[in-house]
Amino acid sequence: MNAIEQDKDLAQVAKSNLLNYSVSQLVDWCGSQGQKAFRAKQLSKWIHQHGVSDFAQMTDLAKDFRNTLLEKAVLEAPATISDHQSKDGTRKWLFDMGNGDAIETVFIPEERRGTLCVSSQAGCAVNCRFCSTGKQGFSRNLSTAEIVAQLWVANNLLGDPSQRQNPQERAVTNVVMMGMGEPLLNYDALVPALQLMLDDSAYGLSRRRVTVSTSGVVPFMDRLSQDCPVALAVSLHAPNDELRDHLVPLNKKYPLSELLDACNRYLRHAPRDFITFEYCMLDGVNDTPEHARQLLEISKRVHCKFNLIPFNPFPESGLKKSSKNAIAAFVDVLASQGVVTTVRKTRGEDIDAACGQLAGEVKDRTKVQQRMEQVISLEQLKKTGQPSRNNT
Ligand code: SAH
Ligand code: SF4
């Protein structure tokens, strides 16, 4: 790199990436540049609703303000490594997070909605037995900009925003924080990203259309209920502590009774009156009618519905997916007592976009062995509830 390029590079570093800001943070940033709050809202609409990345094109902003933006701000999304489309319309992007890390984002079109599955961390420290992301270990938290950019880029690539009659009509109608990582262990970056998803000057999604999925980080479930009570999915995967300790190691820190109490506290604030319990169906491990009967007891304690996820096998797991018959018998036990139970359809299998497969290509890039050495030890997690590295 020559001196001029280096200078340019330094100037770039000093610029603020506006994708990092919720609308209220953008109001503060604009205030610091002598601009009124309504300018921040106009700016937010250009960025998030019209998908415009060039400040010069934001024609209803005063020229002086546009010049300030060109000088002091950037809109920077991670580079796209790959973009695959499945036969069933599912689309998967692999984004470069630097230092050999990559994350994935998946768009799942359905008849009347389009759901974007968003990642929150590169890797994950929780290390659930059946999850290939967990097997990679934890690398780093994503910034707010890196979380929001997944939505920003997807909306821009899924049709031309300038052609839409109503800028609120975007391809992505629902967001689920079910990609790589444990969102509640990246809380400070997560909340502004969620706020942007809900804000009318940005993505304007209703709270019911934004879902955070957690393996059960109890203290942050409580904080989320106060700060941004979107729909909550809890990865249960086992009906008793003995089995859950084994499948979701975080259970040793926050056992089922505490988790279920936290669910009930959440529901007091939540706009939606049930918790979705996700349950990955593992052959001979958690899929017998007796396990289903134990879940009935849980369903009496928390207003909930169950979403059964057929396990997506990967070689290192040593686990197998449940048979169709076992899943059907499991559903029968729950449904016989009126517990709403759905079985998740597997989408995008031909491009490895199904749950728990979001690491296929990443694994090679991120050198699994190295990552495994960085796996946050369970002891660390038990002590603090936080991964030991936080690179935001
Ligand atoms: N970390 C969060 C969200 C990301 S995982 C969580 O655990 O809730 C999203 C869902 O996919 C979780 O319910 C997770 O347990 C499930 N999952 C992970 N690996 C899977 C696999 N191999 N097959 C099926 N579901 C899997
Ligand atoms: Fe992490 Fe969720 Fe995978 Fe568990 S299932 S290792 S919490 S991403």
Residue 368: pLDDT band with limits 50, 70, 90: very low
Q: Which CATH number fits domain 79-391: 1.10.3720.10, 3.20.20.70, 3.40.1160.10, 3.40.50.150?
A: 3.20.20.70
Rounded distance between C-alpha atoms, residue 392 and residue 390, angstroms: 6
User: Which residues form the catalytic set?
Assistant: 104, 355
Q: What is the 3-state secondary structure (H, E, C) of 71-109?
A: HHEECCCCCEEEEEECCCCCEEEEEEEECCEEEEEEEEE
In this structure, which residue's CA is closest to atom 8 in ligand 2? 181
pLDDT of residue 351: 73
**How much of the chain, in percent, has pLDDT values that exceed 90?**
77
pLDDT tens column, 216-245: 999 999 999 999 999 999 999 999 999 999
Ligand 2 centroid distance, CA of 76 (Å): 27
Q: Cα separations (Å) of 45 from 21, 60, 149, 152, 168?
A: 13, 11, 15, 12, 10
Ligand 1 centroid distance, CA of 201 (Å): 31
pLDDT tens column, 294-352: 999 999 999 999 999 999 998 889 999 999 999 999 999 999 999 999 999 877 777 77
- The secondary structure of residue 375, as a DSSP letter, is P
The domains of the chain are located at 3-74, 79-391
Which ligand sits nearest to residue 237's alpha carbon?
Answer: 1
Poorest-pLDDT segment among 14-28, 137-151, 152-166, 175-189: 152-166
pTM over 0.85: yes
pLDDT of residue 379: 37
Which ligand sits nearest to residue 278's alpha carbon?
Answer: 1
Two tokens, residue 373: 């050495």
Rounded distance between C-alpha atoms, residue 1 and residue 103, angstroms: 28
Stretch 129-133: mean pLDDT, rounded? 93
Cβ of residue 182 lying under 6 Å from some atom of ligand 2:
yes
Question: Over 60: is that where the pLDDT of 52 sits?
Answer: yes
Ligand 1 pocket, Cβ-based, cut-off 6 angstroms? 128, 130-131, 178, 182, 213-215, 235, 278, 280, 309, 311-312, 355-356
3-74: what fold?
Answer: DNA polymerase; domain 1 (1.10.150)
Stretch 158-170: mean pLDDT, rounded? 66
Residue 360: pLDDT band with limits 50, 70, 90: very low
In this structure, which residue's CA is closest to atom 7 in ligand 1? 215
Q: Please report the DSSP string for 112-170 in residue order.
A: S-EEEE---EEE-SS--TT-HHHHH-EEEEPPHHHHHHHHHHHHHHSS-GGG-SSTT--
Question: Over 80: is that where the pLDDT of 134 sits?
Answer: yes
